[in-house]
Amino acid sequence: MIHASYYRPRVYPYNGDTVAAEIDRLQELTGALTLNREKVKEIGRDGTVGWLRRTPSLRLTLRQHETGNLEFFRKLTNLGDSVTSIVLNDFKTSMTDIAGYKTDDDGTFLGTVVYPKLRCSSFGIQVGDPDSLVERNFELVGEDEWTFLNNNKYFICHRGTTASAGVQTITLNDPSPTESPDESGNDGYIIRVLRIRAGVTTELVYATDYSFAPPSTLSINAAAVGDVYKTYYTASAYVGGSTPFTNNDSDVAALMADSTSIWLQTTNYLYKVQSVGINVTFDRTDYKEVGNSTVVQRGVRNKTVNVTLGRVLEAYTIEQVLRGVASTYGKIDPRRFTSNNTLTLQLFSDSTKNLFKQEFRLTGLTPTSLDAGNTVDEYVNRGVTMECEDLTISSVKSI
């Protein structure tokens, strides 16, 4: 059997000269693949004519403890390790492969499950109550799930560069590719080759843009000086001297609710807050084309960010700020709430809040609902929900 302790998750960014990484502090990974088979019948026949195999649809959900590290957000948006701020538009055309490297209880490596070309359809940050951990959750969409076994059991991404123009060769010998059992011929050794030239990522076509000669020679046609090539394939061994997963002992194990600060506008610290939920949804526009079963264009029509704050009612600070009035003002009318508010959720390494880690900054917020709860022998609760289209995730403190 495969225990979660021996399921090593790894993320491979698609665009740009970006490197893969293990997925740290992952608590749950669930995949749901719908094959979209369609039964065909006809008048005059008792029974099924056949089944049409339409493009499958995949939903992958992940739940992760928050540590204040931007790494996984960078990988999902295909941005480099030096990036300090991420905005929602960075999710529009980015893609990733997520791979799970599986070892059984006896220490025998069994194979790799790969979810290719995933796009983010939603994500959220949750602080459930004052004693809870801060958690992230993600939903990714794609079309495929591949399981690699036996001689093809390791999923590999090799990075290579070309120093001159014209036909160039890249040696893939650590490890060498294994031919796919589903394909015959030299084109069955390579899953894909991506070329990064002047910041633009292009997926190359076999025979037109590149060729492969076993056991390890990849030939690139029409290369340019400084091109970067990411070559994906399977092999019977992993890269020498490395493993798919390296323990991250430098980040905190998890951040607690007491390690957060919440600001409305830039000067109003929010007290008595019992829960915070930030949820981002992308209305994706991922298109196929006539004559092709794969998705060829990716984008996002609309972005929606919702934030919900729950608190024990003691003062009306939130309502007064949303109304734009002082604490001495004598009336709060929600019809007069402002529609261009800013909320910042900051994360620190611990409850002392001496070491800043990360923040989520929402701008252009408009209130959409208010609620109140009154129960016998309980204190009155008050909640507010706001909506906007702009969120910045940053490792640079703004307040």
pLDDT tens per residue across span 122-167: 999 999 999 999 999 999 999 999 999 999 999 999 999 988 999 9
Task: Write down the pLDDT at residue 5.
Answer: 73
**Which conformational region is residue 324 in: left (phi greater than 0), alpha (psi within -120 to 50 degrees), or beta?**
left
* Average pLDDT of every residue of the chain: 91
Where is pLDDT greater, at 288 or 34?
34
- Main-chain dihedrals φ then ψ at residue 150, nearest 5 degrees: 55, -125
Task: Write down the pLDDT at residue 1.
Answer: 61
Task: Write down the pLDDT at residue 296.
Answer: 73
- Output the pTM of the full model: 0.90
Task: Write down the pLDDT at residue 316.
Answer: 64
Instruction: Pull the structure tokens for residue 165.
Output: 């123009």
Task: Write down the pLDDT at residue 229.
Answer: 97
Where is pLDDT greater, at 7 or 2?
7
Nearest C-alpha neighbor of 361 from the set 392, 340, 386: 392
Distance (Å, whole) CA 26 – CA 303: 25
For residue 377, is pLDDT > 50?
no
- Mean pLDDT in residue range 314-325: 75
Distance (Å, whole) CA 63 – CA 58: 17
Task: Write down the pLDDT at residue 3.
Answer: 65
Task: Write down the pLDDT at residue 375.
Answer: 57
pLDDT tens per residue across span 61-120: 999 999 999 999 999 999 999 999 999 999 999 999 999 999 988 889 999 999 999 999
For residue 244, is pLDDT > 90?
yes
- Pick the range with the lowest mean pLDDT from 37-41, 170-174, 279-283: 37-41
Per-residue confidence at 60, pLDDT binned at 50, 70, 90? Answer: very high
- Mean pLDDT in residue range 248-264: 95
For residue 275, is pLDDT > 80?
yes
For residue 231, is pLDDT > 50?
yes
Task: Write down the pLDDT at residue 344.
Answer: 97
Nearest C-alpha neighbor of 270 from the set 225, 219, 321: 321
Instruction: Pull the structure tokens for residue 126.
Output: 């949750």
Residues 6+ apart with CB under 8 A from 136: 62, 63, 64, 65, 66, 72, 123, 124, 125, 126
- Pick the range with the lowest mean pLDDT from 87-91, 162-166, 275-279, 328-332: 328-332
Residues 6+ apart with CB under 8 A from 185: none
- Mean pLDDT in residue range 314-328: 74
Task: Write down the pLDDT at residue 381.
Answer: 66
For residue 54, is pLDDT > 80?
yes
Gyration radius of the chain's alpha carbons: 25
Half-sphere exposure of residue 50: CA atoms within 13 angstroms, side-chain side? 3
